[in-house]
Amino acid sequence: MTTALITGATAGIGAAFARRLAADGRDVVLVARDGKRLREQATELHDRHGIEAEVLVADLAEEDGIAAVEARLSDRKRPVDLLINNAGFGNKGRFLEVSMADELRMLKVHCEAVLRLTAAATASMRDRGRGGVVNVASVAAFVPRGTYGASKAWVVQFTQGVARDLAGSGVRLMALCPGFVRTEFHERAGMGTDNIPGWMWLDADKLVTTALADLARGRTLSVPDPRYKALMGVVKLAPRGLLGGLSSRAGRAYGPR
């Protein structure tokens, strides 16, 4: 039986990945900061699907948290076959309204943790000749969105670059770029969502189904909805200045997730 490790597993996209992968018969390693929620989730997945659900309490904004997940991914006796780097958060406010400590914390979670966990996972996957990594980014990676958008743009470029470097090794990597998803993401950041049109909201479970299908097809970038694919086509043609103005008027909700 194969094993998947999911960061940010207790809510939203991470929880949807955990549900789907457990339903598919994979054992899971659930990573998040809230130990109580993790244990409840692990019990539910085990009882419902008969899989092993391991709990790893870790804060990826802290050195000890990243190191703990690195160690689990590097354990050759308990190999992880699929890594879902999903942990992330948003900050409310424009640049200079958000504290530098919070900006750096975002880079720690979105960039440093993704870099280190991807490296730990793919090293052993390459030796086994198989494995997969999904790094959750955002369509905000393609528009000017301050630190959030910049960090997600890094995730996309990093993932596609590593995918190219590991081509032929049996290890697949994909950047997942969802739009607005109905999760706890905006509520946790204190962001209002009243100004977001209903058509822009995506279902987390459907998103995961599309993402896993794209990974199986060998794609290195997944924008999992026709509406957002069309929107990204428009973005490619629009002047950067116009995109910046639209992004600013939309508010620094730090992008879809």
| Residue 188, pLDDT score | 55
Tens of pLDDT, residue by residue over 2-16, are 999 999 999 999 999
Instruction: Report, in angstroms and rounded to the nearest whole number, the Rg of the chain calculated over CA atoms.
Output: 17
Q: What pLDDT was estimated at residue 150? A: 95
Domain assignment of residue 255, yes or no: no
**pLDDT: which is higher, 138 or 227:** 138
Q: Could you say which DSSP state residue 139 is in?
A: G
Query: Does 133 reside within a domain?
Result: yes
Q: Which CATH number is 104's domain given?
A: 3.40.50.720
The reported pLDDT for the residue numbered 93 is 87
> Would you state the pLDDT for residue 244?
47
Say if 141 falls within a structural domain. yes
**Does the pLDDT value for residue 248 go beyond 80?**
no
Higher per-residue confidence, 142 vs 117? 117
List, for residues 162-203, the tens digit of each pLDDT value. Answer: 999 999 999 999 999 998 776 554 455 444 555 665 556 678
Q: Known catalytic residue: 228?
A: no
Is residue 234 very low, low, confident or very high in pLDDT (cuts 50, 70, 90)?
A: low
With cut-offs at 50, 70 and 90, classify the pLDDT of residue 143. confident
**pLDDT for res 227:** 73
Catalytic choice (142, 148, 185, 254):
148
In a domain, 190, yes or no: yes
Q: What average pLDDT does the chain have?
A: 87
pLDDT tens-digit series, residues 80-119: 999 999 999 988 888 999 999 999 999 999 999 999 999 9
* Beta-carbon count within 10 A of 230 CB: 11
Give mean pLDDT, residues 32-52: 98
Res. 225 pLDDT band, cuts 50 70 90: confident
Predicted local confidence at residue 251, as pLDDT? 40
Asked, for residue 257, whether it belongs to a domain, the answer is no
What integer pLDDT is reported at residue 200 of this predicted model? 61
Percent of the chain with pLDDT over 90: 71
- % of the chain surpassing 70 pLDDT: 80
Report how far residue 12's alpha carbon sits from residue 88's, in angstroms, rounded to the nearest whole number: 11
DSSP string, 148-211: HHHHHHHHHHHHHHHHHHTTTTTEEEEEE---EESSSHHHHTT---TTS-GGGEE-HHHHHHHH
pLDDT at 85: 98
Structural domain that includes position 170: 3-250
Establish if 256 belongs to a structural domain: no
Q: What is the model's pTM?
A: 0.86
pLDDT score of 79 more than 80:
yes
What per-residue confidence (pLDDT) applies to 186?
45
Residue whose entry in the numeric block shows the structure tokens 């590991």: 166
**Does 89 reside within a domain?**
yes
* Residue 131, pLDDT score: 98
Distance CA 4, CA 18 (A): 8
Q: How many domains does the chain have?
A: 1
Distance of alpha carbon 27 from alpha carbon 160, whole angstroms: 27
Rounded to an integer, the average pLDDT of 65-78 is 97
Q: What whole-number distance in Å separates Cα of residue 212 and Cα of residue 119?
A: 21
